[in-house]
Structure 1
Amino acid sequence: MGLRRSLDDYKQNEDATDVFPGERRTQQGRFSGSDQRLVHVSPAGSLRDYSYPLSGFSGIVSSRFGVRVGDAVEWFDALDTGSQTYRAGRSLVETTHRLDGFDVIQRDVTDGLAHTTTFELGDGAPEDAELAGFVEISPEGRDGRVGQLIHDEAVEVYHNREHDYLGTSTEFVECTPQVLERFDEILAAESRSFPEFGASEEYEESRLTGGVGVRVAFEDGETSLVTLLSDIETQSRSDALSAVATRTRRTNSDSAALLATARQAGQYPTVTDRLVATDLSVLELLSAPTGARIAGPDFDPYYQYSGGYGYTWFRDDGEVSTFLLEADESLGFDAAEIHRQSAEFYLRTQLPDGRWPHRVWPMNGRLAPGWANGHIEGTETQYQADQTASVLVFLAEYLSAYRQSLRNVTVEAIENALQSGVDGLDSSLEDDGFPTVCENAWENTNGRFTHTAAKFVQAYSTIAAITCDAATRERAATRATQVFDALDMAWAADEGIYALRLDDGDGNLDDRVDSTTFSLVDAYLAYRAIEDIGETRLRRLERHLHTAFSRLWKETDDISGLTRFEGDTWRQRGQGSEKVWTVSTGWGAYAAEKSIRLFSSTDEYDSEKWADQLFDQIDLDGSLCLPSGYLPEQFFDTGAPDSATPLGWSHAIRLATHASRVTRGARTE
């Protein structure tokens, strides 16, 4: 069923220049979520689940809604007017559909594995108006082999363990199973439109589909739909149907109950700063009950244009955890429980050799599909060594911040993990002090990367500064100096930058500018806590940042920001040049902000100027921020957002940068 919708999208967008056909895009609209379910609400009110990585349930794969008056249906996705916003903090998505003569207010809230959608008719609505809808459910992500049961008050769609339920607070006027496209229709040039009311299907065939068309009565101008994702082995059919009935009765008898449910959602206390609230909300949306986070909603599940995003990368998650810890220490939004969950997840998933795998399922920490698990297979090359360093930085900083409040067993477990982690880092070092050939942070090249070395310096230095074990502290400090000195090999004096990697394939420095080298700022700061940096190296970093910002900066009529690295060809579609990335722009803003601690502004490089200029682009009213407050991964020059939206890494960088700016008293909203 998901494949059918992807093929439909491919037919509609095959010739687009700034859209990748067949993807499940989330740049428009907003998310409603819990730690088990993530539901996208489009501007047209359509619902789609991105829940699988969080809970193992697939849920809704497509839907559409409208209002039927007489024999005609006005579908919300055919309207060109309307609005959408968050209410109750950011727990409730409210969408206004403006029809001819009246409005319909749609409100969406996710609570656990249940999602509730209410529809309220505005003044002027005809008395005979009905809600019309189509919902396509894909239990366990199945494209086939699903079944459907139509009970008196709910529809049940199931495969094996996953049984999903659709109920309404008011009467079903019509409930029609929708037999979805057959092979010839899938391959046809034109898409088939659903629902098809009144279709006459054989009973046998109509019960072997995940699609259902509904007409639902309004009572006092309101009705609601509830979908519940369920595991038949842990929740019986009768219990699930009862849970759906309870929710539909509650919203039918008291629409304020929906708002009350929304206000109860959320792990963080009320935050008045709008940017902080936005970024915390996004990180919460992307989090599983384990505390691990997906990189972003998985828009490309068939790996047509990417390797997928609905997984936990230890680089991304480690960086997010560190940024969140840093921001919490500055702003005090009380995320101690979140930090604890992250630390415990990393302890559970560390491999015997002290390192971490490429990516795992956030719901349980098990190994997920990936392409950089060479160290598990027995080779170093297809491995991203910076990931382990990122996690170790967080564990060390978490231990430093919370040592006094942790149980002794937890302190011991973290110290053991750090000691094992140092062993893991050591196994990736060559005799010259530089990390061995491995994959880069962007996962598209092999080599010996400056970024990897910088993360090693930061990890070794942070461990050396905080650990209580003298032997580990001394070994980490020695290694930090060894790798810090080896960074000199990456200095391209003629270009005034630290190179992307030591070897470009022809034995020369790859002297392209790469935004991952902004990690040098954190490396320098961490190393300065244990050893002297020296004026020469400070001036090198100063020159590198100025050159990197200038060469990566890109400005069009619609957007401004930093590209990922020089010569980046990924996801260009019809553009033909590098795209602007929110991660790179945010990382640049963060590096510029933090560099203020390393050196004062000079005629050559003005830290505060670049910090302000770059942050302005990712701020809530910046050219790279969507009306929802979301930061997508990338932008085309036309201003069209692209790729994973919202991207957790970008939001964590923005949050930490904002916190640092507040601390120094920079101009903020």
Structure 2
Amino acid sequence: MGLRRALDDYKRNRERADVFPGERRTQTGRFTGSKRRLVHVDPTGSIRDYSYPLSGFHGVTSSRFGVRVDGAVTWFDNLDGSSQTSREANAVVETVHELGTFDVVQRDFTDDLTHATAFEVDGETPESLEIVGFAEFSPEGESRIGQLVHDDEVVELYHDREHDYLAASTELTVTPEVMERFDEILADEPQSFPRGGESESYEGSRLTGGVSFRTALEGGRTTVVTTLSDIEERSRSESLARIADRTRRYRYPSQFLNAARQSTPSTDGADRLVETDLHVLDLLSAPTGARMAGPDFDPHYQYSGGYGYTWFRDDGEISTFLLEADERLGLDAEERHRKSARFYLRTQLADGRWPHRVWPRNGRLAPGWANGHVEGSETQYQADQTASVLVFLAEYLATHRDSLPAELALNVESALESGLKGMDVSLEADELPTVCENAWENANGRFTHTAAKFLHAYSAIAAAPLAAAVRDCAATRADRLYDALETMWSPGEGVYGLRLDDGELDARVDSTTFSLVDAHLAYAAVGDVDAERRRRLETHLETAFERLWTETDAIRGLRRFEGDTWRQRGQSSEKVWTVSTGWGAYAAEKAIRLFSPTDREFDPTTWADRLFAEIDLTGSLCLDSGYLPEQFFDSGTPDSATPLGWSHAIRLATYAARQSRGA
């Protein structure tokens, strides 16, 4: 079913210069979710599941809603007048569809594995008004699907273990829809659903994942509910009873909104930015506490390697940013920190390192291309990932040692000691990390960013409450790495280069080198950052900002690195990234502390303010939803994973730092 929708989108968008055809884009609309289900609500009101990384359930592949008046159907995706916002601390997505003499208010809310879509008419209600809809399900990602219609009230769609259910709080009329045949899939023109009319046969109608329906209104309202279930965990009778309970529970708006309030963590008094960033991180989190990088918009790997996984770099960085923000803002995030620590302990490999990426719901190895160290090769391995996790574990132990359960504290200490040895494996005789993959996962070499993360990790371990022998070993490594970083300095360019490639310094500017600032701040706690190093870091930061800065009529921000050609589509130059812009803002904030105000020639405050302004809620890189997509075309068209967890965590930590200095 997912491939059918990808091919349909390809037909509709293959000529566009700023859209990658065949993807499941989420740059418009908003999400509602739980720890096990993530549902996107398009501005037209259509819903789609992005739940597989969190729960293993595929759920709804495509859908659309509309109204039927006197037999004539108007689909919401054909309207011009729809607006969307979030309510109840972002737990509910509210979409208002304007239909002339009346509006239909649609509210979407996700509770565990149940998603409810409530419709309420505002205005003069035509007597014959009904809500109509179409939904396509893809249990286990399959196209070989069975369909059961129970007493004309509940539709059950299934392949093997995953069984999905659809029902309504009012009278429901169902018509199974046979999806595209081969000739329709191969045709140049896309096929619209529902087709209309009855299915050609009972047999065909029971072997399809598509269903069209209409539901009556009572008191001007109705609620359509879907639930996802594992038949081995919950029987059919139990699932039918569950969806019946949910349709009763969400029958009225007051019930609906009250359930949303009760399910949402309290954010009383929180700034809207803080509330948004925490909400996004929760949306992307599985029950384990691990986060997928972003909603998986490219599940067929046509233009990327997929995003619905936990990278230990992204997740480790998010955990560290959240830890820092919690210390400054008092976010009551202790349970989040504890879950992250336990997840890292559970997924650490025997050699003290971590794999490329895993499934957030269970920590099992996920498809990836950088598991060389698992196969026995160091090159196809992203060593910075291990360092990022170790930074979090060391800083978590240092700040929360007295409040940790004794067993957890001992396990974290053991993981840090093992991780220290794991990083040592990746060092060459010159004390720099060996040839490996970079943070952007598109090149091999000996990267400044990898060295900076190693310096940060060694320094954090040296400052953590660990055995003296472990701290001394880490401090010695940090000292040697601090000296070795001189190899990456380019006097002619005035920057720390991107990488050493076959012994030659690639002096392009790369936004990942902003990590040098945090690394040196950490090192300053265990060693001496001399005046010459500080001057070089100042020069590097100022030069990097100037060379990566991009400004168009639509957007302003930082490019990822010089010469970046990824996902350009019809654009001839590098794109702007929210991660890079946010990272720059964060590094500038930290540089205010690192560079002495009496000695510095470069004032990072100006750049800190300028860069943060672009990722702030009113900035050119922030969508109306408050979401930060990964990238932007120069035209202002957002692209790639939306929302991206890493960007939101950087924004949250930067905001916290700005609050601390009174910005």
Residues 47-446 of structure 1 correspond to what in structure 2 (within 5 A)?
A: 47-142=47-142, 144-152=143-151, 153-172=153-172, 174-252=173-251, 254-446=252-444
Q: Any unmatched runs of 5+ in structure 2?
A: none
Query: Helix, strand or coil for the counterpart of 1:106?
Result: strand
Query: Helix, strand or coil for the counterpart of 1:611?
Result: helix
Maintained 8 Å contact 1:313/1:360: yes
Distance in 2 between residues matched to 1:257 and 1:606, nearest whole Å:
53
Query: Helix, strand or coil for the counterpart of 1:215?
Result: strand
Distance in 1 between residues matched to 2:263 and 2:285, nearest whole Å:
13
Partner deviation per Cα, 1:163-199 (whole Å, 9 max, x = no partner): 0000100001x31110000010001111111112322
Distance in 2 between residues matched to 1:198 and 1:638, nearest whole Å:
43
Maintained 8 Å contact 1:433/1:486: yes
- Look up the equivalent residue of 2:86 and give its one-letter code: Y
Partner deviation per Cα, 1:273-303 (whole Å, 9 max, x = no partner): 1100000000000000000000000000000
Partner of 2:605: 608
- Look up the equivalent residue of 2:588 and give its one-letter code: A
- Look up the equivalent residue of 2:39 and give its one-letter code: V
Distance in 1 between residues matched to 2:636 and 2:369, nearest whole Å:
31
Maintained 8 Å contact 1:546/1:604: no
Partner of 1:455: 453
Partner of 1:660: 657
More deviation, 599-608/208-217: 599-608
Normalising by structure 1, we get a TM-score of: 0.98
Maintained 8 Å contact 1:266/1:284: no
Distance in 1 between residues matched to 2:409 and 2:250, nearest whole Å:
47
Give the drift of 1:268. 4.9
Give the drift of 1:255. 2.5
Q: Pick one of 536, 545, 552 that aligns with 2:548.
A: 552
Maintained 8 Å contact 2:178/2:199: no
- Look up the equivalent residue of 2:646 and give its one-letter code: W
- Look up the equivalent residue of 1:595 and give its one-letter code: A
Maintained 8 Å contact 2:156/2:165: yes
Maintained 8 Å contact 1:26/1:644: yes
Give the drift of 1:250. 2.4
Give the drift of 1:269. 3.9
Distance in 1 between residues matched to 2:156 and 2:325, nearest whole Å:
44
Distance in 1 between residues matched to 2:593 and 2:485, nearest whole Å:
21
Distance in 2 between residues matched to 1:268 and 1:460, nearest whole Å:
36
Partner of 2:560: 564
- Residue 14 of structure 1 pairs with residue 10 of structure 2: no
Query: Helix, strand or coil for the counterpart of 1:122?
Result: strand
Distance in 2 between residues matched to 1:130 and 1:223, nearest whole Å:
9
Distance in 1 between residues matched to 2:608 and 2:507, nearest whole Å:
24
Query: Helix, strand or coil for the counterpart of 1:134?
Result: strand
Maintained 8 Å contact 1:268/1:333: no
- Look up the equivalent residue of 2:660 and give its one-letter code: T
Distance in 1 between residues matched to 2:483 and 2:269, nearest whole Å:
43
Give the drift of 1:78. 0.6
Q: Any unmatched runs of 5+ in structure 1?
A: none
Partner deviation per Cα, 1:603-628 (whole Å, 9 max, x = no partner): 84221000000000000000000000
Distance in 2 between residues matched to 1:515 and 1:272, nearest whole Å:
30
Partner of 1:479: 477
Query: Helix, strand or coil for the counterpart of 1:115?
Result: strand
Distance in 2 between residues matched to 1:496 and 1:347, nearest whole Å:
40
Partner deviation per Cα, 1:221-256 (whole Å, 9 max, x = no partner): 10001100000001111111111111112222x321
Cα pair distance change 1:473/1:200, threshold 3 Å: closer
Distance in 2 between residues matched to 1:200 and 1:61, nearest whole Å:
20
Partner deviation per Cα, 1:47-74 (whole Å, 9 max, x = no partner): 0000000001000000000001122111
Q: Pick one of 553, 576, 593 that aligns with 1:597.
A: 593
Maintained 8 Å contact 2:163/2:228: yes
Maintained 8 Å contact 1:230/1:240: yes
Query: Helix, strand or coil for the counterpart of 2:453?
Result: helix
Partner deviation per Cα, 1:294-347 (whole Å, 9 max, x = no partner): 000000000000000000000000000000000000000100000000000000
Partner of 2:638: 641
Distance in 1 between residues matched to 2:203 and 2:226, nearest whole Å:
24
Normalising by structure 2, we get a TM-score of: 0.99
Distance in 1 between residues matched to 2:46 and 2:449, nearest whole Å:
41
Distance in 2 between residues matched to 1:307 and 1:338, nearest whole Å:
27
Number of aligned residue pairs: give it.
Answer: 661
Give the drift of 1:103. 0.6
Partner deviation per Cα, 1:93-133 (whole Å, 9 max, x = no partner): 00000113211000000000000010011212211011110
Maintained 8 Å contact 1:268/1:335: no
- Look up the equivalent residue of 1:58 and give its one-letter code: H
Partner deviation per Cα, 1:542-598 (whole Å, 9 max, x = no partner): 000000000000000000000000000000000010000000000000000000001
Distance in 2 between residues matched to 1:605 and 1:496, nearest whole Å:
13
Residues 491-570 of structure 1 correspond to what in structure 2 (within 5 A)?
A: 491-503=489-501, 507-570=503-566
Query: Helix, strand or coil for the counterpart of 1:489?
Result: helix
Maintained 8 Å contact 2:318/2:646: yes
- Look up the equivalent residue of 2:73 and give its one-letter code: V
Distance in 2 between residues matched to 1:423 and 1:200, nearest whole Å:
64
Maintained 8 Å contact 1:428/1:436: yes
Maintained 8 Å contact 1:37/1:112: yes
- Look up the equivalent residue of 2:634 and give its one-letter code: D
Distance in 2 between residues matched to 1:255 and 1:104, nearest whole Å:
13
Distance in 2 between residues matched to 1:606 and 1:556, nearest whole Å:
25
Task: Using the aligned pairs only, state the percent identity.
Answer: 69
- Look up the equivalent residue of 2:85 and give its one-letter code: T
Partner deviation per Cα, 1:27-52 (whole Å, 9 max, x = no partner): 00000000000000000000000000
Maintained 8 Å contact 2:297/2:307: yes
Partner of 1:587: 583
- Look up the equivalent residue of 1:220 and give its one-letter code: G
Maintained 8 Å contact 2:89/2:264: no
CA RMSD of aligned residues (A): 1.0
Give the drift of 1:407. 1.9
Distance in 1 between residues matched to 2:568 and 2:268, nearest whole Å:
40
Query: Helix, strand or coil for the counterpart of 1:655?
Result: helix
Give the drift of 1:266. 2.8
Give the drift of 1:271. 4.3
Maintained 8 Å contact 2:102/2:123: yes
Distance in 1 between residues matched to 2:568 and 2:528, nearest whole Å:
43
Distance in 1 between residues matched to 2:286 and 2:550, nearest whole Å:
36
Maintained 8 Å contact 1:162/1:232: yes
